[in-house]
Structure 1
Amino acid sequence: MKLKKFMLRYYPPGIILEYERSNGREGTKTIDLLDLTEFSDVNTVAEDIVASEPLIPSGKTEQIKQLVESKVGKQKFKEEKSLQAHLLPLTNCAFNKSGDRFITGSYDRTCKIWDTETGLELKSLEGHKNVVYAIAFNNPFGDKIVTGSFDKTCKLWDAETGECQYTLRGHELEIVCVSFNPDSSLIATASIDTTAKVWDVETGKEVYSLLGHNKEIISMSFNNAGNFIVTGSFDNTVRVWDVRSAECVYNFHGHECEVSATQFNFSGDMVVSSSIDKTCKLWSMHTGTCVRTLTGHNDEVIDVSFNGTGTRVATASQDCSARIYDTMTGECLAVCYGHHAEISKVSFNPQGNMIITASNDKTCRLWDAKTGNCLQVLRGHKDEVFSCAFNYEGDTIITGSKDNTCKIYKATGEEY
C-alpha cells in the first residue's frame, strides 16, 4: 500500500490517511487522537504516530507534527466583515462543513446564503409567511438547506439554486428545531405543538410523528450514527427516540423545571441536558439513568455543549457566567466570568481548547477551555448576540445579533 495524502480531522480529533492499495483501489484509514490536549508533547505524539503506522514514512514526521500543532493551538481572531444581513433581527446562523458558505435566518421571513470569503449574499430563500427561526445545512454534503418557521411549515431548499424543493406541512404551531440525519435521507423537526416529526428528504413526505411530550419541544438533534433522536421539552423531560421504530426508548425525568437544551456526545453513549432549574444532567444511553448532575450556576442554564470527544461539557447561564465540567467526574474545572448579561449560546471550537459564548451584553467572548480565562472579546454588535458558530476547521467565526447584522471573524495566524 502507498500513502497518497493525509489530513487533519478536527471533529473528533484525528488524522485521515488516504492510500492506494496494490490493486490500484483507494482506501482510507483514521488515526484517532481522542486524548490529545493542549498539554500534549507535540513531538512525542508525532513520533508515536509515525512509529506505529506503517503507512506513514519516517520522513513525514515533521508534517505530522505540524498537523498536531494546528490541533492544539489557540488562535487569535480579527473581524473581517460586518454584514447588514437582514431587514429585521437575525434568529440563527450556520456554516456548511467546508465553511465557505453560511446561512442566516431572520424575523424578516427569509433565509440568506452567504459567501464567507467575500461576504456577498448568494441567495435569498423566500416563501415563508412568518419568522424563519430554525435553519440547517445537510452537512457534510452542504447541497441542501432546511428552514423551520413560525408559519408552522418547514421548507427544503437546493443550496446551489435556491429552489424550494418541498414545503413540509403538518405541525400545528411554530417550528423551533430542524435537523438532517447524517446521511441526509431524513429531516427531523420539532414544534411548540409538543410534537416532533420525521420527514423523507427524497419525497418531502412525513414518515411519522414522535408523540409523548405534553409541552413545547425546544431542543432536538440526531446522534452521529443517525439511529436515535433526542428531544428536550418544557415538560421538564428529555426523551430519546429510536429512528427506525419511532418508539421512545428513554424518558429521562429529573429536572425540576423546563429543559433548555440537549445534545448527544460524539460516541452517542451519553446525552446532556440543561435546565431552567440551574443544573445540567448527564444521562447514560446504556442504563437510561442520570449518571451526573452538574451544579454551580445560580440562575437558569440556557445552553450546553459537549466538546468533540465528549470529555468536557460547557454551559451558559442567565447568571452571566459559563462553566466547563469534566463529564467523567462531574467536577467543575473552570468558571468563565466577564459577561455583563445573560449568556444565550456556548460551544467548543473544533480543536476543543476554546469555547465561545454569545451574550445579551452585545459581545461574544473566547475562553481558554482549560483555565476559563477570557482570551478575547468580540465587540461591535449594537444589540444582544444570540448566535455564534465556528467553521469545521475552527479558523472562522460567525456571529448573529438582534441588531440585524452578522459578523465574520478570521484567525490572524497568531496564537494566544
Structure 2
Amino acid sequence: MKGRYFCFTIVIRVNQIEVAPGVNLGVDERRENTLENLIKYRESIFRADPSARVTFALSDAALRDESENFRNIRAQLREYYEKFGDDVTYMLGAFFSAAYEKRAQICANVHSALCLLKDFMGPEYRPQAIVGGFVASDVIRYIAEVEHIHVVQGNIFSQYAVDNQDGDGSICYPYYPSKEHFCKPAQGDEDFIDCVNLDGWTVDFINATYCGVTKEGYNSRMGCGPIETLRPFCVEKGIEIMLVSADQMLGENFGRNNGFGYATAIWELCLIQRDGHHQMNIDETTVTAFLSALKKKYPDLKIVPFGEVGESFRKEHPDNRQLHYEFVHQGIGFGGSLENVRLYWYMNKYFRLCIREDIQRGTKKVIDFTDYTKQAAEPEDSDYRIGKIQRNWSLLGDINQKGLREQDKPIDFVRLSEAQKELIGRAEKEFGFTVTF
C-alpha cells in the first residue's frame, strides 16, 4: 500500500461519556455540540484542504436526540456526505464500551445505531467504518461478519492509565486482528477476522512509553490529539508538536515503510467552543492552521476517512502475511519527548519490538517485546449494571514499554531468550530487515 494518509475524525455526542444508551457520565455537552459549531468545523477543514474527506462519528444519544439542534446536525451531515464524501458513522459508547458493557449488548447497540443512521442518511446507507476506541475482538467479528463493515477504529496505541480504559499492546498501523484479542494481529486462517483494525490517535513514540501522566507532568498521549497537546502547550507550540508527531509517520519512516504513511487524530466537536468545559481556548481557526500546515509540509497527503484507508489496505493485503512496519524516532526535546532518546520500533505479524537508545551514553536497551505468536485472551464481559468494570484490556507481552512489572525492566538485546531471538531472526528473514542494536 502506497501514499500518505491522515484520518481526521470529528466526534459528535450529547454527553461527555456515554457508557451505554441512556447511561451517561461526565458533562452534558449540548451547549457545545451545536449546528453552528459543526458548520464552522467543516468550513475550517475545507479552507485547509478542499479535497479533504473526514469521518463524523455520532454517539448513540446524538443519533437519538430529537431536539431541533440534533435533527439539524444530522441533516447537515447528510449534506456533507453528498457534497464532500464524508463518512458518517457510529461511535461506540465513549470509546470505552468494552469497559462497561457486555459484548453481546455492544453488538446489539451497533445494529441499532446502523438502523438509526439509515433514518437520516437513507435506507441503503452503510458507513465505511465503525469508530470505537477499544473494540473487543468478538464485536469486531460481529461488525465484519453480520454488518458487513470491514474497517474498525478499534485500538489506541499505547494507552494506559489515561481516561477510562487501558489497551496497550497493539501495533499502530493497519492490521487484521485475531479472534483471541483485538490488540493481536491474526496469525492464520483459524484466528483471522476480516476487518482492518486502525489506531485512532498518533502520539509521540517517546511519550507513549510513559504510564499515564508522569510526576514531571509528561503526558503519555501527547501527539496529534488536541486535549493532551493544544490545551497544555497552546496553539502555536501545540501545532508544532502535532506536526512532529505526524512526521513520525509521514517523514523518514514513510520511506522505511515502502512509501506508506498513516497518521490519525480524533477531535470532539465540542472542543472548538472557546468557553467550553474542556477549556481548550481554541476555535475553528486552529483546525485550519493545523491541517494547512500539514498539507503544506506534505502536498501529496490525503485527508480521508478511516474506511478509505482500511479498505485500501484490505484490497492490497487480504491477510497479515506481509505485515511489517518499522519506525525510528528521536525526541524533540519538549514535553517529555526527550532529545537524547531515540526509539527503534519493529511491528509485524509475529511481534512488536522496541529498542531505546540513550544517545548521550551510547547504550541501547530492549523496552518492549510482545510476542503475538503466543495465545492471548481478553477480559470477561463488563457489566456496569452490577458494577463490573473491566478497565484493563491491554496485551502486555514479555516486556512492555510502560515498565509496570518487574519483567519490564529494560534489558540488553543479547539477554533476550533464544526463543525470542529465533522469532526475530525468522521475521528478519521473512520480511527482509535487520534489527538495529
TM-score over 0.5 (shorter chain):
no
* Higher RCO (CA < 8 A, seq sep 6+): 2
TM-score under structure 1 length normalisation: 0.29
TM-score under structure 2 length normalisation: 0.28
